[in-house]
Amino acid sequence: MAAGSDLHEPGLALHIEDLTVRYGATVALWDIDLDIPPGRLVAIVGPNGSGKSTLLKAVVGLLRPVAGHVRIFGQPISRARSRVAYVHQRAEVDWDFPATVLEVVTMGLYRRIGWLRPVRKTHRRAAMEALAEVGMEAFAERQIGQLSGGQQQRVFIARALIQQADLVLLDEPMAGVDAVSEDIILSLLRNLRDRGKSVVVVHHDLSTVRRRFDWMALLNRRLIAQGEMHDVYTPANLKAAYGGQMAVFADTDAEETAPSERVGGQL
């Protein structure tokens, strides 16, 4: 499925139409049409600089597109914000900020509590329950910057849990984490999916994407393809997205091979 879906817009977790985003004179995304059904674990993949992070930022309103629009469960972000949780790239977070793990998770409730209102015992209890769900309750009083990369990502997933968001967007949550942490993070994301949440992940490693996700959008400033993994993960689509920027690695669960990015940095 290279363009739209036959689902009506209110039935989609995410509907993007004719989206174009520029950084000055540079086109980061061009005329993107993307429809993501609810209840999927989605990988957004493409070569470095293809606009994957830009796409998530445009969805949550951190970047203003020059054309097109975004709808979340049929509504603009201004009306659907309470249904969305967004986890930044780790590199974009100030890890020296003097906040404990418990405080970071409780921040997920601020829209409900109100920014100038006190955090009460019931809110802290809910935050502890979310931390327990991701196996991080023992670190509640630790400063967030003292954790490992995988632990930090689990804390931000706990914050998404406490928000009770229906659409969870994560930008490279597996970047810079060890294999054990990656498996834990993916297990947590599958659990969200199994609860009916829609989980959209910018993912860089195509050697594992087919085994770990069930839906895929392949991007290189334009949308190359979108849909169920077995429909999109094809040699023709991968070549269209990656061209010559491919190194081949074995997929341990399949006979075929998959490309993985060589060059660092991305939009």
What CATH number is attached to the domain comprising 42? 3.40.50.300
- Is residue 158 situated within a structural domain? yes
User: CA-CA distance, 188 to 41, in Å (whole number)?
Assistant: 11
> Which stretch of 21-35, 138-152, 211-225, 248-262 has the lowest confidence by average pLDDT?
248-262
pLDDT at 4: 43
User: CA-CA distance, 10 to 15, in Å (whole number)?
Assistant: 9
Q: Give the DSSP H or E segment for 203.
A: none
Q: What percent of the chain has pLDDT over 70?
A: 82
Task: Compare 52 and 122 and report the one with higher pLDDT.
Answer: 52
The yes-or-no verdict on residue 128 having pLDDT over 80 is yes
The yes-or-no verdict on residue 257 having pLDDT over 50 is no
Q: What percent of the chain has pLDDT over 90?
A: 55
For the stretch 180-223, pLDDT in tens is: 888 888 999 999 999 999 999 999 888 889 989 999 999 999 99
Averaged pLDDT, 59-79: 94
- Is residue 4 situated within a structural domain? no
At residue 38, φ and ψ (nearest 5 deg) are -70, 160
- Is residue 195 situated within a structural domain? yes
- Is residue 154 situated within a structural domain? yes
pLDDT at 180: 86
- Is residue 266 situated within a structural domain? no
Per DSSP, the residues of 50-93 read SSHHHHHHHHTTSS--SEEEEEETTB-HHHHGGGEEEE--GGGS
pLDDT at 118: 67
At residue 170 the predicted structure's pLDDT band, cuts being 50, 70 and 90, is very high
The yes-or-no verdict on residue 13 having pLDDT over 90 is yes
pLDDT at 43: 97
At residue 63 the predicted structure's pLDDT band, cuts being 50, 70 and 90, is very high
User: CA-CA distance, 233 to 213, in Å (whole number)?
Assistant: 11
pLDDT at 261: 43
At residue 57 the predicted structure's pLDDT band, cuts being 50, 70 and 90, is very high
Q: Give the DSSP H or E segment for 233.
A: none
Averaged pLDDT, 27-47: 95
Averaged pLDDT, 9-28: 91
Name the amino acid, one letter, at 161.
L
Task: Please tell me the total count of domains within the chain.
Answer: 1
User: CA-CA distance, 189 to 6, in Å (whole number)?
Assistant: 26
pLDDT at 166: 94
∠ Cα 91 163 210 (to 5°): 60
Show the domain range for 49: 9-260
Tokens of 178: 């060890």
- Is residue 218 situated within a structural domain? yes
Neighbour tally for 136: CB within 10 Å: 22
At residue 62 the predicted structure's pLDDT band, cuts being 50, 70 and 90, is very high
Cβ(153)–Cβ(184) below 8 Å: no
Calculate the average pLDDT of the chain.
Answer: 84
- Is residue 3 situated within a structural domain? no
At residue 265 the predicted structure's pLDDT band, cuts being 50, 70 and 90, is very low
The yes-or-no verdict on residue 249 having pLDDT over 60 is no
At residue 148 the predicted structure's pLDDT band, cuts being 50, 70 and 90, is confident
